[in-house]
Amino acid sequence: MNAMMKNFLPLSALATAVLATAGTAAAADVDEVTKFSKPESTVSVGIGHVSRDNQRFGQYTGLNKEGAYGLLDVDFVRRNEETGTWFTLSGRNLGFDNRELRFEHNRQGDWGYYVDFSQIPRYDPYTVTTTLSGIGTTTQTIGGSATAQEYHLKTERDILTIGLNKELSNNLNFQVGFRNEKKDGERLWGQGTFGAWRFLTDPIDQTTRQIDATLNYTTERLQLSGGYYGTSFENRNNLLNVVGSTLFAGSNQMALPPDNESHQFHLAGRYSFSNTTHGTFKLAYGRSTQNEAYPTAPVTGAPSSLDGRIDTTLVQAGLSARPTPKLSLRANVRYENRDDKTPVFRYFPSQNTATSTNDGTNETRDIKTTAGLLEAAYRLPNDFRLTGGVDYVEKKRNSPPVRSVSYRETTDETTVRAELRRSISETLTGALSLIHSNRTGSDFLLNTLVNGTIYSNQVAPLHLADRDRDMLRLTLNWTPTEPLSVGVRLDAARDEYTGRGISVVDQTVRKGDAQNYSLDVAYSFSDKVQGTAWYSVNNTSLESQQCGALVADVCTPGTQQVWGSHVRNLADTFGLGLRAKLSRKLELSADLTESKVRDEMLLNSIAGTAVNPIDVINTKVTSLKLSAKYALQRDSGVRVMYSYDRYRTDDWTWANWNYSPADGGTTVLQNPNQKVNFIGVSYYYRWW
Amino acid sequence: MLDVADKKTFRSHAMKRNMYLSTLLLLSFALMSGLAGVARGADVPAALPDPSKPPPKDLVLRDDAKCTRCHDEADNPRVLAIGKTRHGVQADKRTPTCTSCHGDSDSHINKPENVKERPKADRQFGKDSTTPVGERNQACLTCHQGGKRIHWSMAAHATNDVSCTACHQVHSRRDPVRDKVAQSEVCFACHKEQRAQLSRPSRHPIKEGKVVCSDCHNPHGGAGEKMLARDNVNDTCYQCHAEKRGPFVRSHQPVQEDCSICHNPHGTTNPNLLKVRPPFLCQSCHEPTTHHATAPVGSAVGGGNPSTPQAVIMARGCVNCHTNIHGSNNPADGAGRGFRR
């Protein structure tokens, strides 16, 4: 008996108890109208079997070990028709590691509360073989085990959510929800420096709590919603102690995420000036803080904690109007100010040397975002609609006095778009959109060293660079005959980046492309048999150039290595589905999806030393799910499920990797060809 | 073979988990057993009306007899199934009648003699509906306004003529879009790119129903971009990844600005939902000083020690060294700003 079954048995005993009471209810001779119009309860109990150990199929379900698993789902509903009171208990996957259970009790239109429990496991898809000891703890010893042992890393989230609501009057209701999410386990981590790399694990023992309380006021014309949203993050591990030789200064103490919290008050509203003109707004003020005592000793005279504080103000207002039956207008403006009020202190004085790229202080990050939108849509003859719009986003950032990365304080992007849509037609609907956007901004700041010497200024970072983007989007939905429908969607986008223009070689990202094409077909063979098929091609690529400049602002092609990269991700995916109700007793369903992904990293030498080609990585994921449901009686039956899952990859990024000998020879590997079969049989019973 | 989770905390976890679940089950069971009797007595409705004995009786909703005298379970959607839903609770006086949503439909109910085919109901919601989307949606918005729908009129779904019933099945007790496992399929009916991305190896547990589209997006509109559940990208991600929030004594600028600069939450082939594999991702921003512009080498090393050109692309890529890439709260002096400790 495996661990899963041990967990499953006490739950199934309780489910049997629920079922026993249900029997009493079901014994009553329930008429047809009740069956058609009253909510029914269902319990489903069974057993399933996983054919072999795997790392992908059961990654988020816990079905990762060969063996038997309990199948248990419960959906218990009781409704008092006279009072409108509901009791529901729903449980899903109770025999698996990703089980969830929810109890809800409410009097509709008056009050309600719920308790919800959910687990999310995540099994790391790699098998680790290492001599590291202390995995999962805050003290880990390099080579601490005499012999290498095998580990499967895992994290798990246990989430408990409680909520209640109350209708205070016809216009006023109150809702509050509290969520407690505990996450623990361990995940891949490490440390390294030039020529030496070590495997470590990140020991996770964290709790995130959220509370969300809102008061809603609703009348025909005015709606308001205001409240409080608070979160807190608590980490019981704030430092990982690494026992072993020193890899670099301070490598024996790795910081883990600090506790932090946030509080936000918000008020949103909507007012209908008329039946066709509506205004919306949102005001919010939030503060997030982080003031946990530092896990290691800072320099003398430094504060013992960061006293980090970020205040965020949001103001949003929108207006939608239909001044004539054919013309619709929409306008929106949004301003968000992230004001980082964290005190600045020179924590790292040893970095504050004349030729350093940082002055040793902590860096604050202010971001002011102003966004606007104007849109007009006009209804043309023959059910065509033409929409035109302009979007504008401006971001203003503060800048640290000394930087190692190129930076500009302001970027602004204007997007112009036009769309022709045919919304209603007997057989054909569709839309064609053209979008052009241009991002530019203030001058890039000149990177200098602490002593004022101009340093490296060759790169326009991806999210700050001038960019021209063109997009084309076409959607078509065609129903040539009653049982057949066809959907086509074509998206194509092209980005052109402009460099700094300082270096003789414009470096980093030069160009981006994306194409997403999909075809969907649905066919109803009869009222009781429907089939679907779809195919998608997704192709994204990014072209860059690099100059291996070891000194600032100097790129001499030939003297320095200049190389280009064309990183491309090409995926084609298809899906087939069938739903068939073959008789009053037998229902079948089948779903097949397959995704083939090709990751290319093409390198080319532009000047200087040659570059080595990088192997393509191919990944193929296949999933087949079959299900048959057979009614033994009107209220009960059996369900047989079969799944086949195959994961294939020639990903060499871990397979070719060797940690340094000092690490003890850790390997992190995945099975490149994983095939798993799962079969399950369950009995279901339903009652009213 | 050691399984870390099993080794470390399995027993306490299993006990705690069973305690949670058992408590919930027992609590629910006790409440329902005690109160079910009260409910059960009221659950059994009147028998089917005999069509030969006028006037017909309402079956499910108030005043539904004028509809249910013709429409029954043979119709699609099954009209009586609305009784299984919250719309079917007559004790809640806010719930609708058939005509609240479908209109009075006089000519549909009483077919004029001068027309061949019976006119359709005033408002239809099916695939072949000729009722303008705005009018269809107004039937829902008459009651369902305010709260999380406050921004509907500004939402991309509204302006793209998405009807409420394109996503919601009103006559079904199990509305797929409100079911954690089924929801994504409803969204993928339009969002094809995201459907394909979900089949990538690095993804959120959306297929398993543990993360759903509406955890991050408010399909009814929001004050922020992309109809996000919170006011901006980062606050949405912090709902589950609060450890990345900081602020830190060593902070990484793009991390603080927008998680989606580096990550695609809908699925990628690169680990950790990275849009592009390191070093190409990191080289998109960093100046080519020191080792930053290193051309990666990905070929097999035959058991040799790794070098920097290999370390920037193999294993965890640049993060092999820059471990605390989201920010570090280690104030110890020295070792630069490399997020290494």
Q: Which pLDDT tens digit goes with each residue over B243-281? A: 999 999 999 999 999 999 999 999 999 999 999 999 999
What's the pLDDT band for B322 if we cut at 50, 70, 90?
Answer: very high
Cα A195 from Cα A659, distance rounded (Å): 10
ipTM value:
0.94
> Over 70: is that where the pLDDT of B82 sits?
yes
A224, A238 in Cβ contact below 8 A? no
Length of chain B: 341
Q: Which of the residues B69, B143, B287 would you substitute to probe the A interface, choosing the one with the greatest number of A C-beta atoms within 10 Å?
A: B287
| Strand residues in chain B grouped as ranges (E) | none
Q: Which of B209, B134, B128 is nearest to B174 (CA)?
A: B209
pLDDT at residue number A67: 97
Q: Which of the residues A64, A78, A194 would you substitute to probe the B interface, choosing the one with the greatest number of B C-beta atoms within 10 Å?
A: A78
On the CB side of A155, CA atoms within 13 Å amount to 16
User: Residue B201 and residue A647: Cβ atoms within 8 Å?
Assistant: yes
Return the number of other C-beta atoms located less than 10 Å from residue A128's C-beta.
23
Cα A136 from Cα A132, distance rounded (Å): 11
Cα B29 from Cα B35, distance rounded (Å): 10
Average pLDDT over residues A586-600: 97
A364, A340 in Cβ contact below 8 A? yes
Return the number of other C-beta atoms located less than 10 Å from residue B239's C-beta.
16
- Residue of higher predicted confidence among B32 and B94: B94
Continuous segment of H or E residues that includes residue A48: strand A41-50
State the nearest Cα–Cα gap between B119 and chain A, in angstroms. Answer: 17
What's the pLDDT band for A20 if we cut at 50, 70, 90?
Answer: low
Task: Return the minimum-mean-pLDDT range out of A17-26, A260-269, A498-507, A579-588.
Answer: A17-26
Using one digit for the tens of pLDDT, what is the confidence trace for A58-103?
A: 999 999 999 999 999 999 999 999 999 999 999 999 999 999 999 9
State the nearest Cα–Cα gap between A559 and chain B, in angstroms. Answer: 14
Cα B267 from Cα B273, distance rounded (Å): 6
* Percent share of chain B, pLDDT over 70: 81
Query: Which of A:169-188 have CB within 8 Å of B?
Result: 173, 175, 181, 184-186, 188
Residue of B nearest to A383 (CA): B132
The CA-based dihedral angle spanning residues A390, B266, B325, A658, taken in that order and rounded to the nearest 10 degrees? -140
- Residue keyed to tokens 């959220």: A210
Residue type, position B186, single letter:
V
For A354, the token pair is: 């004349």
Using one digit for the tens of pLDDT, what is the confidence trace for A313-341?
A: 999 999 999 999 999 999 999 999 999 99
Q: Which residues contact A685 (CB under 8 A, 6 or more apart)?
A: A19, A22, A26, A42, A43, A44, A635, A636
Query: Which of A:453-512 have CB within 8 Å of B?
Result: 455-459, 461-463, 489, 491, 507-509
* Percent share of chain A, pLDDT over 70: 95
The C-alpha angle with vertex A445 and arms to A444 and A448, in degrees rounded to 5, equals 140
Residue A332 β-bridge partners: A318, A373
User: Residue A542 and residue B192: Cβ atoms within 8 Å?
Assistant: no
Return the number of other C-beta atoms located less than 10 Å from residue B209's C-beta.
19
Residue A441 β-bridge partners: A411
What's the pLDDT band for B10 if we cut at 50, 70, 90?
Answer: very low
For A69, the token pair is: 């698993």
| Contact residues on chain B for A39, CB-CB shorter than 8 A | 84-85, 173
According to the 3-state scheme, what is the secondary structure of A569-619? EEEEEEEEEEEEECCCCEEEEEEEEEEEEEEEEEEEEEECCCCCCCCCEEE
Tell whether A415 is within 8 A of chain B (Cβ). Answer: no
> Over 60: is that where the pLDDT of A428 sits?
yes
pLDDT at residue number B49: 47
What's the pLDDT band for B335 if we cut at 50, 70, 90?
Answer: low
B96 upstream amide cis, omega within 30 of 0: no
User: Residue A569 and residue B268: Cβ atoms within 8 Å?
Assistant: yes
pLDDT at residue number A686: 95
Residue of A nearest to B143 (CA): A220
Return the number of other C-beta atoms located less than 10 Å from residue A610's C-beta.
11
CA distances from A453 to A352, A402, A447, A456 (A): 14, 11, 9, 10
- Render A221-256 in DSSP notation, one character per residue: SEEEEEEEEEEEEEES--EEEEESS-SSTTTTEEE-
CA distances from A307 to A258, A345, A360, B248 (A): 12, 11, 17, 10
The minimal CB distance from B287 to the residues A238, A347, A405 is found for: A405
Sheet containing A239-243: give its strands across. A139-141, A239-243, A253-255
Return the number of other C-beta atoms located less than 10 Å from residue B303's C-beta.
7
The minimal CB distance from B331 to the residues A34, A298, A462 is found for: A298
Residue of B nearest to A224 (CA): B146
Q: Which of A474, A380, A370, A397 is nearest to A429 (CA)?
A: A474
Burial of A138 (0-12, 13-18, 19+ CB in 10 A): middle
The minimal CB distance from B333 to the residues A153, A270, A347 is found for: A347
Helix axis angle for A3-27 and B4-43, nearest 10°, is: 0
Cα A483 from Cα B318, distance rounded (Å): 53
For A327, the token pair is: 């013309």
> Over 60: is that where the pLDDT of A5 sits?
no
Tell whether A64 is within 8 A of chain B (Cβ). Answer: no
The minimal CB distance from B297 to the residues A153, A599, A612 is found for: A612
pLDDT at residue number A482: 82
Length of chain A: 688
Average pLDDT over residues A179-198: 94
Using one digit for the tens of pLDDT, what is the confidence trace for A527-566?
A: 899 999 999 999 999 999 999 876 667 788 888 889 999 9
Cα B224 from Cα A286, distance rounded (Å): 15
Q: Which alpha helices (H) appear in chain B, and where do they start and end?
A: 4-43, 65-68, 98-102, 106-109, 133-141, 156-159, 164-167, 183-188, 192-197, 213-216, 233-237, 253-257, 308-311
Average pLDDT over residues A22-48: 79
> Over 70: is that where the pLDDT of A591 sits?
yes
Cβ contacts of A47-52, under 8 Å, gap ≥ 24: A47/A71, A47/A680, A47/A681, A47/A682, A48/A95, A48/A641, A48/A678, A48/A679, A48/A680, A48/A681, A49/A678, A49/A679, A49/A680, A50/A676, A50/A677, A50/A678, A51/A676, A51/A677, A51/A678, A52/A675, A52/A676, A52/A677
Alpha-carbon Rg for chain B in angstroms? 29
The minimal CB distance from A653 to the residues B20, B153, B313 is found for: B313
- Pairing outcome for strands A239-243 and A139-141: parallel
User: Residue B310 and residue A76: Cβ atoms within 8 Å?
Assistant: no
Q: Which of B8, B324, B11 is nearest to A134 (CA)?
A: B8
For A610, the token pair is: 């040659």
Cα B303 from Cα B310, distance rounded (Å): 13
For A363, the token pair is: 């860096």
For A301, the token pair is: 């005279």
Q: Which of A572, A685, A658, A566 is nearest to A614 (CA)?
A: A566
State the nearest Cα–Cα gap between A237 and chain B, in angstroms. Answer: 12
What's the pLDDT band for B33 if we cut at 50, 70, 90?
Answer: very low
Tell whether A372 is within 8 A of chain B (Cβ). Answer: no
CA distances from A100 to A118, A129, A150, A393, B12 (A): 4, 33, 30, 41, 18
Using one digit for the tens of pLDDT, what is the confidence trace for B165-218?
A: 999 999 999 999 999 999 999 999 999 999 999 989 999 999 999 999 999 999
For A188, the token pair is: 């891949």
